[in-house]
């Protein structure tokens, strides 16, 4: 069979990451072999090692990049002045961002246990930073008397679980648009915090 040759680093690198994201989300990290990943990209298995030192690094890099992008996107998002406006901004931001990256979101909470300890700690720290953003909003609203949240830590975890859950059932072209979903969830979030 004829050999292929030539350099394709500029296109193959992103293709490896995109294929890994898709396959890890669909089948799980442990169930995806380097051979099947290579087949998805259209190269032989050995060629993947020009782009990652090993399989574990590939998983970690995907999760790290996702969390970095999440934090950066929230840092740049318009947020409003008062706690109520900030909570609405966070709600709509979280749903919109996560729906745009369903595969990465799925992996970020399904494959944590497949990270080596040091990698796990790094991702957990980034997740904690993101949760702290929501908790600060809830705490500010509580301090100002506009929210009624008896336990801001629990409320943070409860709301993020509720909002992230959208990615498990939302399907493009279904009954509701993303904006419809954002509106309905914002209604529930606002009521849940007593605003």
Partner DNA sequence: GTCTATATGACGATAGAC
Partner DNA sequence: GTCTATCGTCATATAGAC
Residues in CB range of 92: below 8 A, 6 or more apart: 182, 186
- Residue 114 interacting entry, from its own copies, DNA, none, C-beta within 5 to 8 Å by type: its own copies
Q: Which stretch binds its own copies (CB under 8 A): 76-84, 120-128, 134-142, 182-190?
A: 182-190
Q: How many Å apart are CA 58 and CA 40, to the nearest integer?
A: 15
For tokens 């007593």, what's the residue? 194
Contact flag: residue 9 with DNA (CB under 7 A)? yes
The CA-based angle 167-34-38, given to 5 degrees, is 90
- Stretch (H or E) spanning 165: none
Q: Which of 134, 140, 166 is nearest to 153 (CA)?
A: 134
How far apart are CB 25 and DNA at their closest, in Å? 16
Mark residues 91-120: x for contact with its own copies by CB under 8 A, - for none: -------------------x--xx------
Binding its own copies (rule: CB under 8 A), the pick from 121, 151, 177, 179 is 151
Q: How far is the CB of 134 from DNA (least distance, A)?
A: 36
User: Is residue 157 near its own copies by the rule CB under 8 A?
Assistant: yes
């Amino acid at each position: 069979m004829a050999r292929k040759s030539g350099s394709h680093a500029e296109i193959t690198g992103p293709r490896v990451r995109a294929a890994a994201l898709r396959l890890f989300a669909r089948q799980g990290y442990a169930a995806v072999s380097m051979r099947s990943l290579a087949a998805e990209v259209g190269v032989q298995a050995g060629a993947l090692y020009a782009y990652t030192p090993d399989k574990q690094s590939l998983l970690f890099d995907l999760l790290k990049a996702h969390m970095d992008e999440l934090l950066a996107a929230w840092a740049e998002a318009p947020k409003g002045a008062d706690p109520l406006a900030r909570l609405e901004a966070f709600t709509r931001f979280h749903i919109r961002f996560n729906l745009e990256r369903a595969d990465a979101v799925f992996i970020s909470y399904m494959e944590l246990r497949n990270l080596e300890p040091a990698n796990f700690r790094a991702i957990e720290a980034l997740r904690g930073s993101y949760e702290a953003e929501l908790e600060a909003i809830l705490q500010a609203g509580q301090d100002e008397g506009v929210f009624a949240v008896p336990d801001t830590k629990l409320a943070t975890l409860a709301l993020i679980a509720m909002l992230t859950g959208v990615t498990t059932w939302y399907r493009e072209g279904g009954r509701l648009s993303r904006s419809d979903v954002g509106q309905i969830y914002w209604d529930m979030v606002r009521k849940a915090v007593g605003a």
